[in-house]
Amino acid sequence: MSSMARITRRGLLAGGTALLAAPAILRAQGEQPIRIGEINSYSAVPAFTLPYRNGWQLAVAHINAAGGVLGRKLEVLSRDDAGKPQDAVRLAGELVDSDHVDLLAGGFLSNVGLALSDFSKQHQKLYIAGEPLTDALVWQDGQPFCFRLRPSTYVQAAMLVEEAAKLPAKRWVSVAPNYEYGQSAVKWFQQLLKAKRPDVEFVAAQWPALGHIDAAAVAGALEAAKPEAIYNVLFGADLTNFVRQGNTRGLFEQRAVVSVLTGEPDYLDPLGEETPEGWIVTGYPWNSLKTPEHMKFLDAYQAKFNTHPMMGSVVGYTLLQSIAAGIARAGGTATAKMVEGFSGAGFASPFGAASYRPIDHQSTLGTFVGKLALKDGKGVMVDWRYVDGAGVMPSNAEVAKLRPNTP
């Protein structure tokens, strides 16, 4: 036998061995967990992010108990960005380069979400934003590797404008934290309200630094403008301090107040007996929402954590459910496949079905609009209705103008 024949035979035998080993290798890869690098402001905004963590942990337990995604378990590697964009980007780099996560998720503050989106664009790594509300995330700075779950500042402003336009008030003032989220929320509310009510005017605005509000000075400045209505974008401790000073000074008496997020238990519960009644708000009426989807979630959440869910809980739970749905639709975790799979992917939530729109990667998840009331010394939402996000988003033609990078 010639040496050429011997070499060819050895090559064929080696190739046969490799072919026999290939299924075992593929099985081993298939058994590896899908790794999600999750980043959020746990130490900076615990009122929202700790219930949020409970939510995604519950979702992971439910998904893995049902067999995982494509036969693989989900594994979440969670990091705390402390509300700092530079820390979020550093942690994203570690999760991608050292921990080899399949995708990134999370975010709370809008500036942090924008920083993570830019990282995902530069590294071509999928990023699913949960909470950041800025419209820039999916419009002005929208890019192929970023999707966003929560209703944006535009969507929540549009929901509130439907009610605000019915008020007789013409003189408006606004108060919002001075960063991307607050600026965007005020811009859209003013623009959308003036489109419906050309007779309104905004006569004053207050822009306190996030987490550093001088509530007495802010309330005094708004009162001095003699408004007929107030648009509030504050949340967390800033909201609590503002409400306390506003109540003390009578700022809210005989004035309409329209407020983003204030009906969410994450921010409403701390107000307690100080809850101002009659405010028109977006939020989450957990204790009076009786749909089958929500009751199933509520029962499971209370059984595991012995407390009621917050909006953060819903966001965390739905974020992981949407990720599982997107990966399943993609048929794998290759980034290019996931970009295609998430675009148009439908998913379940405690609020009902939603999906990620192909045009801008914004989900159609909605929220609730209602009024604040006091019940047994606690703030609650009443007269609420659910507003589907898809019904208040701009058209595809409008989005194409807002999102320069839309194909």
Contacts of 330 (CB under 8 A, 6+ apart): 337, 338, 340, 341, 342
Instruction: Give the model's pLDDT for residue 376.
Output: 94
Instruction: Give the model's pLDDT for residue 12.
Output: 32
Q: How many Cβ atoms are within 10 Å of 348's Cβ, its own excluded?
A: 17
Instruction: Give the model's pLDDT for residue 405.
Output: 66
313 near 54, Cβ under 8 Å? yes
Going from N- to C-terminal start, the domains of the chain cover 30-152+290-365, 154-289+369-391
We find that the CATH architecture of domain 154-289+369-391 is 3-Layer(aba) Sandwich (3.40)
Domain 30-152+290-365 has CATH 3.40.50.2300: yes
First to last CA, the chain: 61
Q: DSSP alpha helices (H): ranges in 177-291? A: 180-196, 215-224, 236-249, 265-268
Contacts of 232 (CB under 8 A, 6+ apart): 174, 175, 176, 239, 242, 257, 258, 259, 260, 262, 279
Domains 30-152+290-365 and 154-289+369-391 share a fold: yes
The first and second tokens of residue 405, run together, are 């990078």
Instruction: Give the model's pLDDT for residue 8.
Output: 36
Q: DSSP alpha helices (H): ranges in 32-66? A: 46-65
For residue 363, with 0-12 CB atoms within 10 Å meaning exposed, 13-18 middle and 19 or more buried, which class applies?
buried
Report pLDDT digits (tens) over 246-280.
999 999 999 999 999 999 999 999 999 999 999 99
Distances (CA, A) of 162 to 60, 104, 165, 194, 310: 37, 35, 6, 12, 25
Q: What are phi and psi of 18, to 5 degrees?
A: -65, -40
Instruction: Give the model's pLDDT for residue 404.
Output: 76
Distance CA 4, CA 64 (A): 53
- Strand, helix or coil at 161? helix
310 near 285, Cβ under 8 Å? no
Task: State which residues of the chain have pLDDT below 50.
Answer: 1-29
Distances (CA, A) of 143 to 43, 157, 337, 365: 29, 23, 16, 20
At residue 93's C-alpha, the angle toward residues 91 and 98, to 5°, is 100
Instruction: Give the model's pLDDT for residue 31.
Output: 76
Owner of token pair 């807002």: 402
Instruction: Give the model's pLDDT for residue 406.
Output: 54
